[in-house]
Amino acid sequence: MIKNDLFLQALAGSTLVRPPVWIMRQAGRYLPEYMKIREQYDFFTRCRTPELASEISVQPIRRFHMDAAILFSDILVVPQAMNIAVEMKPGVGPVVPDPIRSLKDLQNVVVPDVQKELDYVFQAVQMTKEKLQDEVPLIGFAGSPWTIFCYVVQGKGSKNFEKAKAFCFAKPQEAHQLLEKITQTTILYLQEKIKAGVDAVQLFDSWGGLLSPQDYALFSWPYLQKIISALAPAAPVILFAKGAWYALEEMTSSGVSALGLDWTLTAQKARQYCGEKITLQGNMDPSRLYSSPAVIQKEVREMIRSFGPSHYIVNLGHGILPDIPLAHVEAFVEAVKTYTE
């Protein structure tokens, strides 16, 4: 039994007096205790070493007592397991030295034995659950097939992922084959992650919003729907598709427990698209944490008044930025925890 299960209650649609709160990238670079570990071990060593990944996952909970932990990992462990090399270059971000651009490249991409190739993730889940001692639930995550596709075709981060799009538009058949392989792997991966102990799963379609609604319906949504349908009975699923506001209506009836929102949506517009019943998660602009703690607290309270307190999970509209002062994060979390109507 999880002692503070507010987050799971919100996902189940219970009536609450205050919403739960967690922060995307809460285990990461704004935390001095994380930076100490970062000095000693490179990025994928931190992901691949269960002792480190679990320690990093619980650090923000010890300091700020959010209502949920999220496993420290990366969406790109999935293509690594599929026989696509991914490196993390400091100051650059993820780099795929041999990006997938042709049918020949595609033939080397496998749907792996997930239990073997990603065992280190499942061990990290178990170790994090032990360290959490049932204080709060643990979230596991994966990237959407389209978002993984963007990286492995483009070869690195990009503003518009033109090479990934060019591949879709010039070679749609090959693109769908690659998306299908990523989808199959992701389903196996998340099923194992749930077995290993995560209490909920979040799907990140970080680059979904780069597609037109018509192309989203071709290259992203069908694959997300497959994953959601394969998982939804086993664990609650949260879908966060940054920028894909135009697909929210369709997502509402997909079987997800909650929809993550970026900061371009007001509560009113979000409810108009999603209805009253589904749980929404978000959505303060991460840059808004540069405001003074007093302003942050005022804005959090306004956000809860517009969205919640029920059917709502407080979060940012994207990952926390590395240079946000700890006192500002504290103000954000505290404003939720002390919220009264």
Question: Is 2 or 295 the residue whose CB approaches a copy of itself more closely?
Answer: 295
Active site residue 151: yes
The CA distance from 135 to 254, in Å, is: 30
Instruction: Evaluate whether 31 touches 63 at the Cβ level (below 8 Å).
Output: yes
Min. distance of Cβ 259 from a copy of itself in angstroms? 17
Min. distance of Cβ 292 from a copy of itself in angstroms? 8
Question: Is 18 or 242 the residue whose CB approaches a copy of itself more closely?
Answer: 242
Min. distance of Cβ 192 from a copy of itself in angstroms? 33
Active site residue 285: no
Min. distance of Cβ 37 from a copy of itself in angstroms? 24
Min. distance of Cβ 291 from a copy of itself in angstroms? 4
The CA distance from 108 to 139, in Å, is: 31
Question: Is 83 or 160 the residue whose CB approaches a copy of itself more closely?
Answer: 160
How close are the terminal C-alpha atoms of the chain, in Å?
A: 29
Q: Which of 30, 34, 151, 273 is catalytic?
A: 151
CA dist list (Å): 279 to 10, 84, 199, 201, 270 = 7, 35, 16, 14, 11
Question: Is 120 or 263 the residue whose CB approaches a copy of itself more closely?
Answer: 263
Question: Is 190 or 303 the residue whose CB approaches a copy of itself more closely?
Answer: 303
Active site residue 74: yes
Residue 90 preceded by cis peptide, ω within 30: no
Phi/psi class of residue 52: alpha, beta or left (left: φ > 0; alpha: ψ in -120 to 50)? alpha
The CA distance from 263 to 284, in Å, is: 6
Packed helices 119-132 and 50-64: angle between N→C axes, nearest 10 degrees: 30
Active site residue 38: yes
Q: Which of 5, 67, 74, 205 is catalytic?
A: 74
Residue 283 preceded by cis peptide, ω within 30: yes
Min. distance of Cβ 85 from a copy of itself in angstroms? 24
The CA distance from 271 to 259, in Å, is: 11
Min. distance of Cβ 54 from a copy of itself in angstroms? 30
Active site residue 18: no
Residue with tokens 């804005």: 299
Q: Which of 38, 63, 271, 301 is catalytic?
A: 38
Six-digit token string for 253: 């009836």
**E strand spans, 55-137:** 69-70, 87-89, 93-95
Question: Is 113 or 172 the residue whose CB approaches a copy of itself more closely?
Answer: 172
> Residues of 250-278 as b/e, b for ≥16 C-beta within 10 angstroms?
ebeebebbbbbbbbebebeebbebbeeeb
The CA distance from 182 to 180, in Å, is: 5
The binding site for a copy of itself (CB under 8 A) comprises: 159-160, 162, 165-166, 169-170, 209, 211-215, 243, 245-246, 263-266, 269, 284-288, 290-292, 295, 317, 321
Question: Is 292 or 338 the residue whose CB approaches a copy of itself more closely?
Answer: 292
Residues classed as catalytic: 25, 29, 38, 74, 151
